[in-house]
Amino acid sequence: MKKVITYGTFDLLHWGHIHLLKRAKALGDYLVVAISSDEFNRIKHKEAYHSYEHRKLIIEAIRYVDEVIPEHNWEQKIEDIKKHNIDVFVMGDDWEGEFDFLKELCEVVYLPRTEGISTSQIKDELK
């Protein structure tokens, strides 16, 4: 079984998120999604509208997702890859090159972002 992992806050879920998860799942057989915990978001100075538990509930309901885990810090990616026997690490291409150090452990893929939609755009338009 080929296992894939991706990371994100996944707040204010939109079709760009769904598109990313669908493309990530297509790279393997089993998709693990690591969602930033509320504590980690505070460290990153990032405010989510939904709590971790609510974001987890929403992501678990998406058919492309097989497992949801919390992300507590930047450093845990290596541990997650080993613990979950990950074959492919996926991030949006706005992170291009940032996770190349993981290529020693698994394949690293940067997927193009979905144009025309983002959580930041939604927040700006709601203001």
Does 127 qualify as catalytic in the annotation?
no
Catalytic residue among 2, 3, 22, 44: 44
Cα separation, 34 vs 36, whole angstroms: 7
Question: CA 89, CA 28: separation in Å to the nearest integer?
Answer: 11
The catalytic residue among 2, 46, 82, 83 is 46
3-state secondary structure of 110: strand
44 is catalytic: yes
Question: Of 5, 8, 60, 57, which is closest to residue 35 (Cα–Cα)?
Answer: 8
Catalytic residues: 44, 46
